[in-house]
Amino acid sequence: MFKKVLILVALLMPVMAVAVDKSKKDEPVEHLTDEQIYEQLKKLALVFEVARDNFVEEADEKKMLEAAMNGMLGALDPHSSYLSADDFKEFNDKSHGEFGGLGIQITSDRGAVRVISPIDDTPAEKAGIKAGDYITHIDDEQVFDMTLNQAVKKMKGRPGTKVKLTIVSEGKEPKTLTLKRAIIKVDSVKYEVKSLADSGEDAEKIGYIRISDFGATTAKELKEAIEKLEKKDVIGYVLDVRNNPGGYLTAAIEVSDAFLDGGEIVSTRGREKTDIERTYAKEGDLANGKPVVVLINHGSASASEIVAGALQDNGRALVMGSQSFGKGSVQQQKPLGDGTAIHITIARYYTPSGRSIQNEGITPDVEVLQSKVEVLEKRESMYSEASFKNSLKNENAKDNDKKKSDEEELTDEEKDALDYQLQRGMDMVIAMSKLQNRSSILEKVQDEKNVEENKDKESNKDLKTEQVKDKENKKSDKK
């Protein structure tokens, strides 16, 4: 029986690795010999057998072995895991752009579940869950005893059913939220023409493109958005990838390529020094060289960071906002042949200048922290007739109260005006556009000046030639 268990464990665990503690991550890995690996596998099989035979209740062998595989892969990094048949199917379903759940991208962090980012227009985003929040309980059950896949599975469920989350935000008391599950259909790209708040009718038109994640159709949607915005004579673009948790590498490459006319986009580097793949942009900038500002924040991860880094390093865009998340690793699914798979980190991402994104993120060219926009002068002053004690009441007061409650729902323009990072991004696009126009005008003036100078030189040359001829003619006459 012991030998059978050992063979089973060896087949289910084709890859063994030594887990490196965070505090010792710079120390060299001590590789085991084949004999030492065999001894450790024997010990693992022995632990399995003793635990199964001596546990106070009937043991679930499948659950034990899956937990062992998950623990092994989880010791490598937070993004590697074992996918059961159900997990693997759910992963593939999610990758096709429609799935059931809360609409939240999460990672494992020191035993808790940390939010990378909520997806736009989903139950999680509408409930006010933010990037950086921690989930400590799901339906009153602690997440510290769960794997990341188990936490995801508990949050998923039939659309319309409810799930209770305990959320801890930085510097705040824990809060409990009850969310209703929904079918999460991700529309990657939203776009519109925007203008600076209170800029009047003659305001410059700015193309605003919001990418909420990088899916299979993102690049196609982006190209359509740029084509339509170009027809509206926008002066430049704000590309908003704030709170974008990432997605497909191919989508990130194609989005970067849409704004580039050449140059490297990203490189992926594996364990071996020779294991490097570089991707380059094709000729053709869909935005026609117009100014681009990329907005990022601490919720911008993975594919978002690839795009920001590519446009920043190629000098194609100015990156504004706050430091991004710092997920610069590549994961791949390796099927095991029985419907299950390993989700494992196989490489790191590097920007064109050779910067690793991992644990560092993208540093904005201009740091703009999200701030509260406060109106210093209000339409209704605190000091008015209504502030006097015993002042006469307005007979239409109820109607006014109703109007005020209706006005509490902000319009899109009012929301834009309160988005400090967006306003500063549009400011920058206008400034860059003016500099670009001024540079173009100066080049034109210089070209005209050069033409005039060349004409003067030719004229002077002709004059000197005539003078030489006159002298020669005079000499001839004297003779």
Q: Tens digit of pLDDT for each residue in 61-116?
A: 999 999 999 999 988 998 899 988 888 877 776 555 556 789 888 887 777 788 98
- What confidence score (pLDDT) does residue 457 get? 67
Range among 101-110, 182-191, 296-305, 364-373 with highest mean pLDDT value: 296-305
Spatial contact of 343 and 331, defined as CB atoms under 8 Å apart: yes
Place 34 in a pLDDT band, splitting at 50, 70 and 90: very high
- What confidence score (pLDDT) does residue 406 get? 45
Does the pLDDT value for residue 233 go beyond 60?
A: yes
Choice among 125-134, 184-193, 324-333, 395-404 with the minimum mean pLDDT = 395-404
Average of per-residue pLDDT across 162-173: 90
- What confidence score (pLDDT) does residue 90 get? 72
Does the pLDDT value for residue 9 go beyond 70?
A: no
Place 300 in a pLDDT band, splitting at 50, 70 and 90: very high
Does the pLDDT value for residue 255 go beyond 90?
A: yes
Place 471 in a pLDDT band, splitting at 50, 70 and 90: low
Does the pLDDT value for residue 58 go beyond 60?
A: yes
- What confidence score (pLDDT) does residue 472 get? 66
> Which tokens hold the place of 128?
């006010």
DSSP string, 283-342: S--TTTT--EEEEE-TT--THHHHHHHHHHHTTS-EEEES------EEEEEEE-SSS-EE
The backbone torsions φ and ψ at residue 49, rounded to the nearest 5 degrees and listed phi first, read: -65, -45
Average of per-residue pLDDT across 146-172: 87
Catalytic residues: 302, 313, 327
- What confidence score (pLDDT) does residue 230 get? 96
Does the pLDDT value for residue 11 go beyond 50?
A: no
Average of per-residue pLDDT across 402-410: 51
Query: How far apart (Å, rounded) are the C-alpha atoms in residues 440 and 445?
Result: 9
Inter-CA distances, 22 with 27, 110, 294, Å: 10, 11, 32
Higher pLDDT, 457 or 251: 251
Average of per-residue pLDDT across 202-224: 93
- What confidence score (pLDDT) does residue 382 get? 40
Does the pLDDT value for residue 14 go beyond 70?
A: no
In sequence order, the β-bridge partners of residue 342 are 82, 334
Place 464 in a pLDDT band, splitting at 50, 70 and 90: low
Query: How far apart (Å, rounded) are the C-alpha atoms in residues 292 and 429?
Result: 7
Place 203 in a pLDDT band, splitting at 50, 70 and 90: confident
Query: How far apart (Å, rounded) are the C-alpha atoms in residues 430 and 425?
Result: 9
Query: How far apart (Å, rounded) are the C-alpha atoms in residues 173 and 344?
Result: 35
- What confidence score (pLDDT) does residue 103 get? 87
The residues spanned by each domain of the chain are 1-96, 196-365
Start-to-end CA span in the chain (Å)? 128
Q: What average pLDDT does the chain have?
A: 82
- In CATH terms, the superfamily for domain 196-365 is 2-enoyl-CoA Hydratase; Chain A, domain 1 (3.90.226.10)
Does the pLDDT value for residue 346 go beyond 80?
A: yes
Does the pLDDT value for residue 60 go beyond 70?
A: yes
Average of per-residue pLDDT across 333-359: 93
